[in-house]
Each structure stands twice: as structure tokens, then as C-alpha cells.
Chain A
Amino acid sequence: ILNVEQSPQSLHVQEGDSTNFTCSFPSSNFYALHWYRWETAKSPEALFVMTLNGDEKKKGRISATLNTKEGYSYLYIKGSQPEDSATYLCAFIYYNQGGKLIFGQGTELSVKP
């Protein structure tokens, strides 16, 4: 049985704080890891797709790293803003599994002004 685990489950920070979350996944048969941002009452939105060990991706104040050998990915948010408040989901794809995403439970981020 595959487990994709995310920590922490929830996080409350002040505006301007930098923060990071962890996604742990099986290190065997890795194909890709996705990060999604999910705001309340909206649909999950793709942030990053990571496929190679050592990948680092950046979009504005948000960045992510990937370590496939040890099975983890970090998502960083620099200088959090209230509009960053959302649930951040990571999803793992096994090799040769038809693109099936296996999601973690998510990290719920709340940024207070």
C-alpha cells in the first residue's frame, strides 16, 4: 500500500513569515511528483511538476525541491502573504501507472495579516 505523507497537517503563520512543508513518498518506481495549491471553493491548481532527482522549481515566492533517492520534496514559501492561504497538496505518480496521481492529505496554510 502506497503512502504519500505531508507534514505538517496545518500551519498558521504571520504575514511576512517564510515557511516550508514536507511531502514524503516511496523512493522506488518514481515517475513524477506534483504540487497543487487548493483554495477553498476553488479547484486544485498545479504549482510544480517535478521529475528528476535534485529538481528545483520556482514560481515567484514559492519554490520546491525534490529528492527521489530518499523520497521527499519540500515546498517553500518566502514572505507569506494572506493570499497564500490555501491547502497545498503533493501527489506522487508511480512509473507505468497510467498517470494516476496518489495524493497526500495536504498541508493547510493560514497566513494572518
Chain B
Amino acid sequence: DSGVTQTPKHLITATGQRVTLRCSPRSGDLSVYWYQQSLDQGLQFLIHYYNGEERAKGNILERFSAQQFPDLHSELNLSSLELGDSALYFCASSARQGERYGYTFGSGTRLTVV
């Protein structure tokens, strides 16, 4: 157990639907990062939150949004789902200087859109 908790582990939903993925960071970590891994693609950065504020955005679709709550857990909302959104979604957390000490990843949420 890495200390980063992601729920649910698996999600199957239909096109056009909306889902919410949840991430609880490791205790004491203020940063949460979301990554997407689609078939045959490497891990793609989506968004970074630090202590409730958005810090950096990657190639995140407008249909996707995220937020970090006062208790530091984060949610990634995916709406108007398309088949191509099927992927493994990871969140990672870090302390303030995570880029110098490494990130802790959760076990991921596998989303299947049918």
C-alpha cells in the first residue's frame, strides 16, 4: 500500500455519461497530480493541485475537470464520455519538494467506456 488511495479501482460506463474518480493523497502530502495512460501511450500529465489550488495543467480535455478539497483529497470529473476516454487514470501525491524527492502513485482507476 503506497498510502495514496484511489477509488474506484474499476469503472465501466456508457458513452455520454459522467464519472468521478477520487484520490486521497498520502498523509502530509499537499500536492496531487493526475495522469492518464491510454492504450499504447505513456503516462500523460493532466493536472496538478497544491493545497487546493491549481498549479499546472497538461493536455486535459475541456470535458474533464478536477478539484482539490480542504481535506486535500482530489476528484477528477470526466463528462460526456467517449470510447477514447477508456484508460488507466493515476493520481500521485508529493510533499512540497516532490520533484526532488519523488512522487507516490496510487494503484489507479481503470475506466472502460462502452
Residues of A in contact with B (beta carbons under 8 Å apart): 31-32, 34, 36, 42-46, 49, 51, 89, 91, 93, 97-106
Contacts and interface: CB of A to CB of B under 8 A. Distances in A.
Interface of B: 2, 4, 31, 33, 35, 41-45, 48, 50, 55-56, 58, 90, 92, 94, 98-108
B42 A105 contact: yes
Contacts of A51: 100
Contact of B56 (A31, A36, A91, A100): A100
Given A43-B106, A44-B90, A32 B99 contact: yes
A11 to B, nearest CB: 17
B57 to A, nearest CB: 9
Given A42-B107, A101-B35, 13 more contacts: A34-B103, A43-B90, A44-B105, A45-B105, A46-B104, A49-B102, A51-B100, A98-B48, A98-B56, A99-B31, A99-B99, A100-B45, A101-B103
B56 A97 contact: yes
Contact of A99 (B2, B41, B48): B48
B43 A103 contact: yes
12 contacts: A31-B99, A43-B4, A43-B108, A44-B105, A46-B103, A49-B99, A98-B48, A99-B31, A99-B56, A100-B56, A101-B33, A105-B42
